[in-house]
Structure 1
Amino acid sequence: MLARSILRSFSPWLVTAGLLAPGAATAQATGAAAPTPLTAAGQALFAGSPTPQRVAKQFKFTEGPAVDKQGNIFFTDQPNDKIWKYGTDGKLSVFLSPAGRANGLYFDGKGRLIACADAKNELWAISPAGQPTVLAGQGPGQHFNGPNDVWVSPQGGLFFTDPYYERDYWLTPHPAPIGQYVYYMASETAKPVAVETTLTKPNGIIGTPDGKLLYVADIGANKTYRYRIGAKGELTDRQLFVEQGSDGMTIDERGNIYLTGKGVTIYSPTGERLAHLDVPAEWTGNICFGGKDRQTLFITASEAIFTVPMRVQGAR
């Protein structure tokens, strides 16, 4: 997931990598949107218009949406160091501030919000009352670039990506970058173990609800891969899923994968492109399903948040 300052400095690189088309930032920021291509299978995913509807635009850079058991959505405004709540009643409220410069979020089975806390390159578990506990980043041998996105398996294991992005809010010299890996923690007290060390810059991550498959976006190589998850969290049978990287990502009940960056692109489990949604924002950072019925697609994009009503539910 890219912070706003990082997006600006990386814009030429994003164009080169194919993640941002020349002129796309200007076109999207002014609301100019090309027709949205949909296959028949893609059209069937939407309850109405596939055009994202803006809910609010009062933030600096939105990221990391996650949904709780009730369908409330929590997301970050990283430059303002806040975690917001978008309730099932449609109301917005601040859940936590300061919030450790939180980035990617995901709820665990205990109802805690697992957060990639960029301020000190840690992984947090935040209680429903807003009390954080550091899970990783302070122990011996736990030097990270900055945990970025996280997924909690149904067995309770935590997978997170650790790319290197220089932050403009670092107050002290930062340690030199280390390997940009995917890590696994078998439990909240376990030591993080690198389970994927060959990617250029791992970013978005999501798994299937049965805990058998993991998708990881290599935003540096503009590719997304699929892995089988072993009994001890090991990743095997790596396969190229699509020739497209992603910032954040999500999955629906049918196994379709939703990638972000230049808007939202939806792929079937076999990698067939089903739909692309143009989002009127400079960058689409992340995405999840929420609402009481889990049929609202919630999109964080630059200074704003958007929703799209769906016929499918998010994977549980």
Structure 2
Amino acid sequence: MAQADFRFETVEPEFDHLTLSNAPVEVLATGFRWIEGLVWMGDWGTLLFQDLPRGRTMAWSERGGLAVWREPSGNANGQARDREGRVVACVNLERAVVRIEHDGRITPLATHFEGCRLNSPNDVVVKSDGSIWFTDPPYGIANDYEGVRQMSELAPTVYRLAPESGELTAVSRDFQGPNGLAFSPDETLLYVAETGDQRHSDPTQVLRVLPVSDDGRSLGPMRDLAKVAPGYTDGLAVDEAGRIWSSAGDGVHCLSPDGRLLGRIRLGMTVSNLTFGGGPHLNRLFIGASHTLMAVFLNTRGARWP
């Protein structure tokens, strides 16, 4: 593993306590076309991530290094782990959310809504009650690089898939391009990255937050939380204190729960997605930086299910 000359930049003193002076950013692997969908598989000691345009899901571990986990992946994008340890993935070519069973079989979970095909599910999270929440912008059907160019049949939407009945509900249609998403540690808030209509020269790009209802099935009024620049929030991860670690055009930005910028990890390249993992403490931040997989140990831990 190579160590690179990246730097931490403090904006508020709190950030100094989150970094470790003897834990530099490490380059784990490179040569990918565009990294997405990072998810930590704790009992495997393995990180899964997408080499999206190549249509393959990769696996990295400290002992085993890099390997192909699933190919073809259907140009899969975001992925998460459910309560039974199975992988739930957003698949561009299928325009679907699927579950990868323990024996490798693929079970479609969501393909249509109100008689129309989904666009291209982008990112997914699994709540502690087993419900699956995902975003559905048209990005994966906008060109032939990350999928296949096709017509959109539905407006961009955030959905909830009920754990037992499989009922699909539109929980928010107030987005032009909903992208990455994550729950707060207590699951009372849902953070959603708005990356806008990419056909416009100046798309709306802002991190938004929505309160989750007491029954956990719907969302309250949305508000803007933070605007990340340069670049924008694409993927995000939340730590144990509710801080938000956001992708950005120059690396990773750390935000307080109320949206204040605390500090940056300057990488000099665009970050697409990130996740906590690395062992039982979840104190290692894995970073998908364009074509390069990176990681850094931090003095905080990733959020766990309540």
Structures share a fold, TM > 0.5?
yes
Q: 1:175 aligns with which of 142, 145, 151?
A: 151
SS at match of 1:119: coil
Cα shift at 1:85: 1.4
Contact 1:62–1:77 (Cα < 8 Å) also in 2: yes
The alignment of Structure 1 onto Structure 2 pairs a total of residues equal to: 285
User: Could you say if the C-alpha distance between residues 159 and 234 of structure 1 is closer, same or farther in structure 2, counting changes exceeding 3 Å?
Assistant: same
Equivalent in the alignment of 1:84:
58
Scaled by the length of structure 2, the TM-score of the pair is 0.85
Q: Which has the higher contact order (CA 8 A, sep 6+)?
A: 1
285, 291, 294: which one aligns with 2:278 = 291
How far did 1:213 drift? 1.3
Post-superposition shift, 1:57?
0.8
Is 2:248 the partner of 1:261? yes
Query: 1:312 aligns to what SS in structure 2?
Result: coil
Q: In the TM superposition, what is the alpha-carbon distance from 1:197 to its structure 2 partner?
A: 0.8
State the Cα deviation string for residues 175-203 of structure 1 (Å, max 9, x = none). Answer: 33521111111126523211111112111
**Unaligned segments of structure 2, at least 5 residues:** 197-203
Contact 2:236 2:245 in 1 (8 A): yes
Identity score, percent: 30
Question: Matches of 2:219 and 2:21 in 1, distance apart?
Answer: 38
Please give the root-mean-square deviation of Cα atoms over the aligned residues, in Å.
2.3
- What one-letter code is carried by the residue in structure 2 that aligns with 1:36? E
CA distance, structure 2, for counterparts of residue 189 and residue 82 of structure 1: 30
Task: Judge conservation of contact 1:154–1:209 (CA < 8 Å) in 2.
Answer: no
Deviates more, 1:54-63 or 1:132-141: 132-141
CA shift for structure 1 position 223:
1.3
Superposition misfits of 4+ residues, deviation over 6 angstroms: 31-35, 170-173
Q: Deviations over 1:205-242 (max 9, x none)?
A: 00123322110111122211111112152101423211
Q: 1:170 to 1:78 in 2, by over 3 A?
A: closer
- 2:129·2:163 contact (CA, 8 Å) conserved in 1? no
Match of 1:44 in 2: 17
Where does the alignment leave 5 or more consecutive residues of structure 1 unmatched? 1-30
Describe the shift of the 1:212–1:142 C-alpha distance in structure 2 as closer, same or farther (beyond 3 A): farther
Are 2:130 and 1:156 aligned?
A: yes
Structure 2 contact 243–255 (Cα < 8 Å) conserved: yes
Q: TM-score scaled to structure 1, two decimals?
A: 0.83
Matching of residue 69 in structure 1 with residue 52 in structure 2:
no
User: Which segment drifts farther, 113-122 or 34-43?
Assistant: 34-43
1:131 counterpart (94, 97, 105):
105
